[in-house]
Amino acid sequence: MTQEKNPVISPVKPLDRRSFIKWLAIGWTAFAAVVAGYGSLLLRYLFPNVLFEPRQSFRAGYPDEYETGKVSERFKDKYGAWIVRDPGKIYALSTVCTHLGCTPNWLESDAKFKCPCHGSGFYKTGINFEGPAPRPLERFKIMLDDEGQIVIDKTKKFQQEKGEWSDPESYIAV
C-alpha cells in the first residue's frame, strides 16, 4: 500500500509588529482618501458652481419717494437701474452703456450721464448725444403693484430707436 503525500501548504506567517503598523497606515490612508473624495463631491453638491445674479424684478418704493426732475441712483449698484421722475412720468433706465457696456455716471450739475470708458454722454431721458454710443440707454418695464409700489422688471426692455418708449409698460404715468 502506497502512501499519498499531503500537498505542502506553506504556513501563514504571522504579521510582525512593524508590518502590522505599515498595513494599518496604508489602510487609514486609503480610507482617508476615499472620505476626502466623497467629502469634495458632497461639497460640490451643496455648493454648486452657479452664478448668483441680482434679482431681475424688484420693488422700488412709492412714486412719492421720487422727486420730479431728479435721477435716483438708489438702485444703481444693486440692480443696475436709475429711476427718473419727469413731469408726468416715471421710468427706469438701464445703467449699461450702449457702446461697450460700461456703467456711466450721473452728473447732476451737468444734467447728463457720462460714460467713463469712452466718453459717451446721455441726457436724463437716456438719449445719447455725444461719444461713440450708437443708441440711447434702454428702459426697463415698470409698473405699480396692488399696494401702489413701483415694480421694475428687468426681463423686459424698451428701446427708443424702435419706438418702444411710447409703450405704456415702459413708464408709469404720474
Q: How do strand 150-158 and strand 139-144 relate by DSSP bridges?
A: antiparallel
Stretch that binds ligand FES, among 43-51, 125-133, 142-150, 155-163 (CB under 6 A): 125-133
With binding defined as CB under 6 A, does residue 118 bind ligand FES?
yes
For the bound state, the minimum distance from the C-beta of residue 110 to ligand FES, rounded and expressed in Å, comes to 16
Stretch that binds ligand FES, among 23-31, 76-84, 127-135, 155-163 (CB under 6 A): 127-135
In 133-154, which positions are buried (b, 16+ CB within 10 angstroms) versus exposed (e)? beebbbbbbbeeeeeeebebeb
Q: What is the DSSP letter of 69?
A: T
152 DSSP β-pair partners:
58, 142
> Which of residues 130 and 167 has its CB atom nearest to ligand FES in the complex?
130
Give yes or no for a contact between 130 and 88, defined as CB atoms under 8 angstroms apart. no
Which helix (H) or strand (E) is 37 found in, with range?
helix 17-46
With binding defined as CB under 6 A, does residue 137 bind ligand FES?
no
For the bound state, the minimum distance from the C-beta of residue 104 to ligand FES, rounded and expressed in Å, comes to 6
For the bound state, the minimum distance from the C-beta of residue 126 to ligand FES, rounded and expressed in Å, comes to 13
> Which of residues 71 and 142 has its CB atom nearest to ligand FES in the complex?
71
With binding defined as CB under 6 A, does residue 95 bind ligand FES?
no
Distance CA 73, CA 79 (A): 10
With binding defined as CB under 6 A, does residue 94 bind ligand FES?
no
Kindly determine how many residues on this chain lie close enough to bind ligand FES according to the rule CB under 6 A: 13
Handedness of CA 55, 123, 87, 64 (dihedral sign): positive
Binding site for ligand FES (CB under 6 A): 97, 99-102, 115, 117-120, 131-133
